[in-house]
Structure 1
Amino acid sequence: MTTIASKTADHDRLLPHNPDRGTVPSQQLDSPAKSATTTSGRTPPVIRLLVLATFIVILNETIMINAIPNLMGALNITEQTAQWLSTAFMLTMAAVIPITGWFLQRVSTRSAYATAMGLFLLGTALAIAAPSFELLLGARIIQASGTAVMMPLLMTTLMHVVPEHDRGRVMGNVTLAISVAPAMGPAISGVILNFGSWRLLFAVVLPIAALITWGGMKQLKNVGEPQVSTIDWFSVVLAALGFGGLVYGLSRFQGGNIGLATGIVLAGLAAIAVFVFRQLSLQKLGTPLMDLRTFKHRTYTIALILMSVAFMAMLGSMILLPLYLQNLRGLSALETGLLVMPGGLAMGLLGPTVGRLFDRFGGRVLVIPGAIAITLALAGFTQVSMTMPYWQLLGLHAVLMVALAATFTPVFTLGLGAVPPHLYSHGSSILGTLQQVAAAFGTALVITVMGVRADSLKAEGVAVAAANLDGMRLAFIVGVVLSVAVIITALLLPARAASNAENVGHGH
């Protein structure tokens, strides 16, 4: 692990330079955010801007979930095909985010922001006019390419401009964008779909995103200095083939051709293995696409595993719930959206509180109870029936969202805080990549488990509704198994991160 002294030295070199104030004196290192246009206890304006933009772009990751029944009728496609509008979005992010560690070091903050929002606006505009499923899928991929840059940009900038003792609170606000946006996607889309077709989802987002882009370009200041470096395109191709092949192969298991699906999964894993070896050799030259030295920091690695498994469980349940409510219980998209909205709002409102508790008490106090509550909520969902009261479903969903809020903020803060500043962009990039792969993996896993179970029961003569319900129960059981792994991982996290912040703050 890097010593406090060497982390502070690295931080000194990487603090943003402002021509109006000169270089930050070393005695101000314990509160760099004071000199970076904010006072202690306030969120820097640059972070507020990036949180707002990130919220809008990440919201689109799950905004299509509620529209699946509409799309199946409008574009004459199956449920599995429609699912690719969400899965392809996540896979594109998984393929593009590995490049962002290199990209964010090479360009200015403003250029990265302009690139991200420009791609997102283009994809959104194309989606509004898309006449077919293929073109809509292409538009979603362009959207996702822009979204892929925003999250690592936000995380990397935060780690540079916010002092360590304040990061939990600010990261609590960031949780709003990273965790609440995908949680709110289905709720917001449910409301919008009540007033028009699926095209309205993009038509509503476009002017809001355009306004945020314009405001951001007016106010955003550059943080840090760009560095010129080369990119290894072979690594880019390997990452796309590896992560994409893995999830695509998993989704093919439902088609019945187990041999082909297994082959695709193994090919994906092989490409990931070659990618890892490629990065290890490039590290010796100092030009890796994804710097794997972040994994030498134990807390970062544990946080990464915990976050990945929790995201698999979260996205899996978020896919199943609308399918259950609309296809089996006969609720409209609006009613479904309203049912899951309280949980999403609770998660967002609790983010800053969780952050302040983290700054005061450290990670374990929040993460371990949060992980247990995730398991209990998912265990409750395994009991879904055709008559389960809606208040019970709302309560279980709210408990799940609150538990995820208590888990994600400390995990993000502990994980990135464990790596030295010169690896922040790579740490953010790896975190973002695995988050997307885990979400896509979780989505494909639950849809596959549900489908295989339902099909086998239908073949035995069980009624369609009963077979589908049993398939959903089994899929929720998979979520429970994943969440038990979250509890085990949570027990390995360090007891207190606050002591590190105190050492940095008072170690001069």
Structure 2
Amino acid sequence: MDSHLKVGHPNFMAAILMIGTFIGLFGETALNMALTNIMDDFSVSASIGQWLTTGYLLVLAILVPLSSYLVRWFTTRQLVSGALIVSIVGALIAAIAPSFSVLLIGRLIQAIGTGVFLPLMFSVVLMIFPMHKRGAVMGIVGLVITAGPALGPTLSGLIISASSWNFIFVVMMILNLILLILGAPKMENVSNITKPKIDILSLILSTVAFGGIVYALATLAELPLSDWSVWVPFAAGILALILFTVRQFKMDEPMINLTVFKYPMFAVGTILMFATLFIILSVAILIPLYFKSVLAYTAIVAGLLMLPANFLNIVMSPVVGSSFDKVGARVFTRLGFTLITIAAIILIMIISASTPVWQVVAALCILFVGVSMTIMPAQTNAMNQLPPQLYADGSAAMNTLTQVAGAAGTAVAITLFTAGQNKYIQEFGAEVPADFLAGGINFAFYAVLITGIVGLIISLFIKNSRPLVK
């Protein structure tokens, strides 16, 4: 028995949602390569500049939990049109920003659009395709989620070299405008519009919980944990998260139905997704920094050096997706996290101020082949165990945590990068900047290694789940 919803143009609908999500996720890391240019243009420090990425992730972490409400209040076409219009407005503001604060406001508005698009893509794709096609389609979804942030530095490097960082936003604005004109009118509604009562307390608790945790992680990049501006929002976030969780279990119509975590493979899959996104966002900020600051490559060359690994990810994701039903999540996730762990060990062994660049590129290729084997199988296996009526809740829960993972990856990478530099300077002095910068990046990769090992251990508990139909 198959429970998918029959729509007139499932492939077209999926394509519009995937392209819109890709543009939004590309926006997560697109400014990593442009950060030094923006810092020069607006005379801001790195710790201030990184809020262009962290602020984006912060809005996503706050907004994505609301998605399970939004799909019950608005039609699919209304949500897609609204998200695209908001993204276009945000990109326009950022493109013509006369100051850093206006640029940041534009970025935060853009993030609202992505925050609607990302969970919508998940729940709609799961609803409109029959089971026998789901593996292949979710392979492309996995590609969108990994390729967006991973290709951000490469594509933005090309744009910056041809013009200026402003054109990153012009490109995003034009692409979203095309989607709005061609795609939005053909979107069919797949939501069950019940207009549930909005629980204001849940809304506040969710915002404080995920906003507080992401803000604290971001601030950790520039201040110690003992500083009140780190531990106060973190403690408030954890407390709000506990209260939010308790409240959801007591409500008849919860904001997010957390019973999804009672399905063991959903819980395990979400943890593996968290680990993979943490790794992707860590690498997306560390490697451009290494290529530009240590090996002294230009933005365009640094971007092109990341292309082979991204190309392998693009090639492998559909292959993994199409063979998912035969091979299963258990084999893919174990093999994927093994490759990620091996790549992290190699990078820790080789990264220095004088490393031949081909060695770093080769290690990145191994890492991204591993990523292509973890994200889609973990994600699909997790969602497959849920009954269809819980897809929206599962999507909201999973995507919220993966955005927190992205923020955590960025924050932890920068924090360890700084700690590694200080450690190197204490031991060897600060005479050669390239050496202590390389020391910082080398040290930061221990976070990738530890996360890879944890992911590998957790993948041992995966069982191949069959979809539930209720």
Aligned residue for 1:30? Answer: 2
Q: Report the residue type matching 2:123 in the other structure.
A: T
- Aligned identity (percent) is 31
Distance 1:118 1:293 in 2: 34
Residue 336 of structure 1: which of 285, 294, 302 is its match? 302
**Counterpart code for 2:274:** S
Q: Alignment partner for residue 235 of structure 2, among 266, 277, 297?
A: 266
Match of 2:38 in 1: 71
Per-residue CA distance 1:289-331 (angstroms, 9 max, x = gap)? 1110101100000001111012112211111001111011111
- Which of the residues 31, 44, 48 maps onto 2:11? 44
CA apart distance, 1:281? 2.1
Separation in 2, partners of 1:343, 1:488? 25
CA distance in 2, matches of 1:162, 1:65: 36
Runs of 4+ in 1 over 4 A off after TM superposition: none
1:443 to 402, 407, 410: 410
* Counterpart secondary structure, 1:334: helix
SS at structure 2 position matched to 1:65? coil
> Deviations along 1:218-252, whole A, 9 cap, x unmatched?
32222243112111222222222222222322333
2:133 corresponds in structure 1 to 166
CA distance in 2, matches of 1:483, 1:84: 26
Residue aligning to 1:3: none
Q: Quote the offset at 1:31 in angstroms.
A: 7.3
Inter-partner Cα distance in structure 2 for 1:278 and 1:362: 36
In 2, the alpha carbon distance for the partners of 1:295 and 1:31 equals 22
Q: Secondary structure at the match of 1:462?
A: coil
- 1:324 — aligned with what? 290
CA-based RMSD of the aligned residues comes to 1.9
Measured in 2, the distance between the counterparts of 1:202 and 1:187 equals: 15
Once the 2 structures are TM-superposed, how far is the Cα of residue 372 of structure 1 from its aligned partner? 0.5
Q: Are positions 1:428 and 2:395 aligned together? A: yes
What is the aligned partner in structure 2 of residue 150 from structure 1? Answer: 117
1:113-144 Cα distance to aligned partner (Å, 9 max, x none):
01111111110011011111111111111100
Match of 1:117 among 71, 77, 84: 84
In the comparison of the two structures, how many residue pairs are matched?
A: 465
Contact 1:169 1:352 in 2 (8 A): yes
Alpha-carbon distance, 1:456 to partner: 4.6
- Matched-pair contact (CA < 8 Å) for 2:71–2:191: no
- Write out per-residue CA displacement over residues 181-231 of structure 1, whole angstroms, 9 at most, x where no aligned residue: 111111100100001221111112211210111111232222243112111
Task: State the Cα distance separating 1:165 from its structure 2 match.
Answer: 2.5
Picking from 207, 212, 221, the partner of 1:245 is: 212
**1:107 equivalent in structure 2:** 74
Which of 98, 103, 107 lines up with 1:140 in the alignment?
Answer: 107
Q: Give the structure 1 partner of residue 202 of structure 2.
A: 235
Q: Distance in 2 between matches of 1:416 and 1:167?
A: 11
Contact 1:94 1:436 in 2 (8 A): yes
Deviation at 1:266, TM superposition (A): 1.9
Give the equivalent residue in structure 1 for 2:26: 59
Displacement of 1:413 in angstroms is 0.6
- TM-score, normalised to structure 2, is 0.95
Match of 2:54 among 87, 90, 115: 87
CA distance in 2, matches of 1:350, 1:232: 43
The answer to whether residue 370 in structure 2 is matched with residue 403 in structure 1 is yes
Residue 19 of structure 1: aligned partner: none
Q: Gapped runs of 5+ residues in structure 1?
A: 1-28
CA distance in 1, matches of 2:219, 2:3: 51
Bigger Rg, which one: 1
1:298 and 1:256, CA in 2 relative to 1: closer, same or farther beyond 3 A? Answer: closer
Per-residue deviation, 1:153: 0.8
Q: Residue 371 of structure 1: SS of its match in structure 2?
A: helix
Q: Is contact 1:53-1:213 (8 Å) kept?
A: no
Structure 2 vs 1, CA of residues 224 and 92 (structure 1 numbering), >3 Å: closer, same or farther? closer
1:97 to 40, 64, 69: 64
Kept in 2: contact 1:152–1:429 (CA 8 A):
yes
Comparing 266-275 and 202-211, the one that deviates more: 266-275
Counterpart Cα distance in 1 of 2:84 and 2:143: 19
The answer as to whether partners of 2:272 and 2:374 remain within 8 angstroms in 1 is no
Q: Distance in 2 between matches of 1:426 and 1:31?
A: 17
Match of 1:280 in 2: 249
Residue 223 of structure 2 corresponds to which residue in structure 1?
255
The equivalences for 1:12-23 within 5 A come to none
2:260 paired residue among 294, 297, 300: 294
- The residue that corresponds to 1:315 in the other structure is 281
1:332 Cα shift? 0.6
Instruction: Answer yes or no: is the 8 Å Cα contact 2:272–2:375 preserved in 1.
Output: no
Between 1:359-368 and 1:219-228, the stretch displaced more is 219-228
How far apart are the structure 1 equivalents of 2:211 and 2:344? 27
* Aligned position for 1:126: 93
Equivalent residue in structure 2 for 1:196, among 156, 163, 175? 163
For 1:151 and 1:446, the matched residues in 2 are separated by 24
Tell whether 2:314 aligns with 1:348: yes
Displacement of 1:176 in angstroms is 2.5
User: What TM-score, normalized by structure 1, do the two folds share?
Assistant: 0.88
1:462 to 401, 426, 430: 430
